[in-house]
Chain A
């Protein structure tokens, strides 16, 4: 089935450690996005990529890094510089054709600090 796969579902980070969240899609979508959701709040955009080898910062990019070496993959690294990383992280993708096309989401990764 076509879709967006995020892994792992749960992740724990030690102080000073970098961790990488995986996002893979087999929908042949051009654009991919990373959002962060805190309890009881809406989603905030971290980074997005419209094409391979290109990405832009969103509203809360500090302490995060991304890469887009393949169309299907958009991993997010939460670095030790992110002082409050505990959150629910959501990856989304959409086709590049038609500006009105909706974004589709994966099932998220829940990151916690040990």
Chain B
């Protein structure tokens, strides 16, 4: 699986957009980009995933660059409950046999 690089930590004011970058310069053509977050002492929560087009759901937007070497997760109006560790993962489309490889992620702190 391709390796991802994320900043160790970020701060965001409540109500503002949180933009979390991820570098995956060695991504292969069949690998999807997934974002999860983990609030302390809970299981990871799936947020969004994409292949090459930008994606949006009720939680967030995912912007993938045209060359697919990096992506940005956008939380449009961050709240205190969005404080968590955010993980960017790339994984090939190989069905159920493929594991998720979590790195160290970005610790997002949302402040008043």
Contacts and interface: CB of A to CB of B under 8 A. Distances in A.
Q: How large is the interface on B (under 10, 10 to 19, 20 to 34, 35 or more residues)?
A: 20 to 34
A19 interface: no
Contact of A30 (B94, B96, B99): B96
Contacts of B102: 42-43
Contacts of A99: 92-96, 98
Interface in A61-114: 88, 90, 92, 94, 96, 99-100, 102-108, 110
Contact of B99 (A40, A41, A45): A45
B104 A42 contact: yes
B103 A42 contact: yes
B43 A108 contact: yes
A17 B101 CA distance: 30
A94 B49 contact: no
